[in-house]
Amino acid sequence: MDFSLTEEQKLIQQTVRQFVERELMPLEHEVLRNEGRYPTGIEPERYRALQLKAKELGFWGINTPEEYGGANLGSVMTALIQMELGRTIVPFSFGGSVDNILLHYSNEKQKQEYVIPVIEGKRISCFALTEPGAGSDPSAIRTTAVKDGNHWVINGQKVFITHGNEADFAMVFAVTDREKPPQRGGVTCFLVDRAMGWTSRPIPTMGGWSPAELFFDNVRVPEDHVLGEVGQGFSLGMQWIGQGRWLIAARAVGTAERLLQMAIDYARQRVTFGKPIAERQAIQWMLADSAVEIQATKWLTLHAAWKADQKQDNRYEASLAKLYGSNMVNRVVDRALQIHGGMGYTKELPIERWYRDVRVTRIYEGTDEIQHYIIARALLKGYVHLGTWD
């Protein structure tokens, strides 16, 4: 078994690390000071300029096919890159990416109207599935779309939609056939421009940036704005969620490694009762436990990513990584804060911000409880066989 990175993987990892250290980390104070002001942490124009600087180096469309100008590096490389980006509180992502379902299910006209502008950063999408009465159970959605001539008329409300305030169009999931179960033909996904009439309102949260509520009041959508087929919506929704689960774990690895390093550095230099606190077993155990859990998440994540690269079903592995990784980073940030004592609680350091920000990783894209359910179901139904390698 070979755990080493290839030369290319190492070079890409080093380059992203340098980019993070030189371009992003110096902005951290500003990002902390400006909490709540910009979705990008810093002014959108400066954020864009950083994305373009990275683009010149070829860091663009990390997972986007070459025909769209992307680098198309695959899942393992994407995971390694996310780990590096997770090291900073600056909420940065390389440009040039697009939602997987937009890419795979759009027709030619939709490609021109949505896919390419999203890749170029000229349009912003959001994914609108969750509703006040439907979170963990998306089959309970009540937003409806009713056919009227060559339009669909959408009514309903969405909630907790990331980028819902900034987006100029939404992928909206609505019931189109009440007779059919949502999973089998009842739900359709629509591409709905803000200009067609939906409105949004921010929902203040404990995190650094807020999602939105979306309101649809007789919004008329031309029939060629259906993504994929009528009735295919539920499956598209699940595919969108499936793409990101292990990436949450990847980001958690980078964040936790940075926090652990901060804790190590602080423990070495903070002296109490005549000795650095690093010499106390109570502190050492926190460091050691964190290291074990980070390492475990790293391999869970890379395995899920590797399976995706092998074109194998990785839903089970993605849930393992997401469940463990999101809990791991919450524990590590708590320990890092504890080791820093009062300093950790201040706004001088990014720790308290991270403490608030990482909490959501246990909620979105499938809560802890839902991940447990997915994993247990796979075991009980015999989808996975313990002790085998596949």
Ligand X SMILES: Cc1cc2nc3c(=O)[nH]c(=O)nc-3n(C[C@H](O)[C@H](O)[C@H](O)COP(=O)(O)OP(=O)(O)OC[C@H]3O[C@@H](n4cnc5c(N)ncnc54)[C@H](O)[C@@H]3O)c2cc1C
Residues that bind ligand X (CB under 6 A): 127-130, 135-136, 160-162, 205, 211, 360, 363-364, 367, 369-370
Nearest CB to other proteins, comparing residues 82 and 319: 82
- Identify the burial level of 45 via C-beta atoms within 10 angstroms of its C-beta, where 0-12 means exposed, 13-18 middle and 19 or more buried: exposed
Nearest CB to ligand X, comparing residues 345 and 364: 364
Active site residue 365: yes
One-character DSSP codes across 219-241? EEEEGGGEESSTT-HHHHHHHHH
Residue ranges that bind other proteins, judged by CB under 8 A: 7-8, 10-12, 14-15, 18-19, 21-22, 56-59, 71
Nearest CB to ligand X, comparing residues 219 and 262: 219
Half-sphere exposure of 152 (CA within 13 A, CB side): 26
Nearest CB to ligand X, comparing residues 211 and 350: 211
Q: Name the minimum Å distance from CB 279 to other proteins.
A: 18
Q: Are the beta carbons of 88 and 255 closer than 8 angstroms?
A: no
Task: Tell me how far apart the alpha carbons of residues 302 and 298 are, in angstroms, rounded to a whole number.
Answer: 6
One-character DSSP codes across 308-326? HHTT---HHHHHHHHHHHH
The partner in contact with residue 57, picked from ligand X, other proteins, none with C-beta cut-offs of 5 to 8 angstroms by kind, is: other proteins
The partner in contact with residue 71, picked from ligand X, other proteins, none with C-beta cut-offs of 5 to 8 angstroms by kind, is: other proteins
The partner in contact with residue 19, picked from ligand X, other proteins, none with C-beta cut-offs of 5 to 8 angstroms by kind, is: other proteins
The partner in contact with residue 179, picked from ligand X, other proteins, none with C-beta cut-offs of 5 to 8 angstroms by kind, is: none
Q: Which residue type is seen at 125?
A: S
Q: Name the minimum Å distance from CB 240 to ligand X.
A: 9
* φ, ψ for residue 156, nearest 5 deg: 150, -170
Task: Tell me how far apart the alpha carbons of residues 114 and 380 are, in angstroms, rounded to a whole number.
Answer: 41
The residue from 166, 213, 365, 369 that is catalytic is 365
Q: Name the minimum Å distance from CB 13 to other proteins.
A: 10
Q: Name the minimum Å distance from CB 136 to ligand X.
A: 3
Task: Tell me how far apart the alpha carbons of residues 330 and 335 are, in angstroms, rounded to a whole number.
Answer: 9
